[in-house]
Structure 1
């Protein structure tokens, strides 16, 4: 029973989902602060800049259309950021894994390259002696 749970948790999809939820929650807080602090006041200024700008009243009931536009903008910014920062890179990685491609190996470090040259020189020197 525990082995099945371990297999389930160690699947890539579950871990990716958990990371996405955590990043999404953190980024949503940032976007909400941005839209509430800057965009909503800008929308209210465009609506007249009065105390109830960005709203309308019907029978003393206030409809906050600036708040609704603010929430839509926050959603779009969060969705765009998550797509470009999490989903798109993960899809490219999954596609690369599916094709069996590995990323290009990095060039060897300078000390490894020098040691390889020394080794090759020693081998060549031994062959000349024989």
Structure 2
């Protein structure tokens, strides 16, 4: 299977996105949240992201991020792990939901899960 890591500047936001994605479509997918700075404030931490990536039991992981520095810290973390990881260029909530649905499929691949997340880039909400 392919796991998901949701990176947000807010720990609560990352956990909420994980909960929504799991409830609405990916209950069988591994979805790990990581967010906030080491002191519990707003921010992201490459060491925390690395630790989360290493804790995912799946051999491949798609990362969803909320804002720019989350991308930078995720990229730093990815360089330090021995896991096949890709960052999806997608809105974090919609992308996580779509990716979770795909990741729960027995035919999921790293590419198909990332693509499912990225399909949400042009989603209209109206």
Normalising by the residue count of structure 2, what TM-score does the alignment of the two structures yield? 0.21
Q: State the structure with more CA Rg.
A: 1
Higher relative contact order (CA 8 A, sep 6+): 2
Structure (1/2) with the larger strand percentage: 2
